[in-house]
Amino acid sequence: MNNLLKSWKSRALASAVMIASLILPNAAFAVDRAQPLPKAPLQTQDINFFGWVTGKVAVDPFGGHTYGLFDDDINVAHAKSIAESLGGHLARIDSAQEQDFIHTLMQKGNKNFYWLGALGRTPGMNNAFFWLPANSYPAATIDYADWAPGEPNDRGGEDFIAISKENSQWYDLFGRQNELRDSGQTKFGYIVEWEFTYRPSVEQPSVRDNLNGSPTFAHTYFLYDISRDTDFPMDGNNNFAQAQQFAVAKGGYLATIQSEHERNITKFLLALGKRSAYWLGATDRLNGTWNWINPNGTLGAAFGPWEANYFINDDQGGEHYLQVLNNRKSPDTIGLWNDAYGGYSNNVGLIVERNELR
């Protein structure tokens, strides 16, 4: 009798579960779906920038910006100078999501605090903290903040912001290299932000520009450390012409750099390169005036005052093509442009620009 009763209860329970699954097909999963999904570990890449500094670089998958965590123990003025020399700026935090990303990134570092790109108590900004201008990025108000309790307390000139690795909260400080001596937490790094998306694993090192382009297409820039033997099997000594053909074969064209923002992109890519120079898409061969070459091969916009700031035109006779310099032995020239002969050199790469669907 007991066995019969147990069998009946078992069949009844099975029927009830079957009926419930038919009526409420998602009921069995309601509890699991309510649980937050575990976060994937943050992937970073150690990048040495021109032998100057090395940082842990990662991309925020939500905002699309690229960030570098640097553990050099320096003051805020030095950190700002380095960030801008790398084509970026000290990080700005505009949302709780971005704050959470930076908190995760800081756990990869070994400093107690990291400098952000803010300045306070400025009369022109209503004596409030604001995000500093840098390169082509203008000053901006701070619309999101996560101050520690009692901050900002402005103890007589604390006009800069550092973020704590421990709790991700913000502190106003003097900007010195060794602050907070009383607490023993005197180690300061800095966080650099680039307003584009670094893509280390797509075909070649590349950067996707999220600011410019069109609603349909975004500009993406690829760095190629070309080799004549493997990439240029054709005969001839016109390395520039072959570079153009190579760019077209890759679905793009030699890069045209027409803004400070685009120059920042190339500066970032150069840190990943092994060549001393890279071809860009400009020439003065056709009309004696330097012009960017359109994707269809015709002359485009002429150089203006902006380009002149970065262009070294020594015109040694027959130098009709444009390179961006990347010679680590001449660090002051890295990122500047130079007119060059179009002939073959195995130490020259190229930067390809391509329009991609968003």
Residue, of 345 and 217, whose pLDDT is higher? 217
pLDDT at 258 over 50: yes
pLDDT value, residue 21: 37
Its sign, for the CA torsion 238, 280, 256, 198, is: positive
Do 330 and 196 form a contact (C-beta atoms < 8 A)?
Answer: no
- For 199-357, CATH gives 3.10.100.10
Two domains, one topology: 45-194 and 199-357: yes
Mean pLDDT rounded to a whole number for the chain: 81
Residue 248 token pair? 């077209």
Structure tokens at 204: 């070649």
Nearest to 142 by CA among 186, 172, 104, 180: 172
Helix or strand (DSSP H, E) at 175: none
Going by C-alpha positions, the residue among 323, 315, 226, 245 that lies closest to residue 281 is 323
pLDDT over 70, % of the chain: 79
Q: Which of 15-19, 255-259, 323-327 has the lowest mean pLDDT?
A: 15-19
Helices (H), the chain: 2-23, 30-34, 76-85, 96-106, 228-231, 239-249, 260-270, 305-308
Q: State the Cα–Cα distance between residues 263 and 256, nearest whole angstrom.
A: 10
More confident residue, 165 or 119: 165
Dihedral angle sign, alpha carbons of residues 190, 195, 200, 204: negative
Is the pLDDT higher at 22 or at 35? Answer: 35
Rounded to whole angstroms, the Cα distance separating 229 from 346 reads: 9
What is residue 338's predicted lDDT score, i.e. its pLDDT? 92
Of 285, 282, 203, which Cα lies nearest the Cα of 250?
A: 203
Closest by CA to 260, choosing from 23, 88, 9, is: 88
Inform me whether the pLDDT recorded for 5 exceeds 70: no
Q: How far lies 54's CA from each of 165, 299, 328, 348, in Å?
A: 19, 39, 15, 24
Asked if 141 contacts 124 with a C-beta cutoff of 8 angstroms, the reply is no
Distance of alpha carbon 74 from alpha carbon 191, whole angstroms: 12
Domain ranges of the chain: 45-194, 199-357
Return the minimum-mean-pLDDT range out of 40-44, 145-149, 228-232, 328-332: 228-232
User: Would you say domain 45-194 falls under CATH 3.40.50.720?
Assistant: no
For the whole prediction, is pTM greater than 0.85? Answer: no
Who has greater pLDDT, 176 or 172? Answer: 172
Q: For position 30, what pLDDT does the model report?
A: 34
- 3 state SS of 208: strand
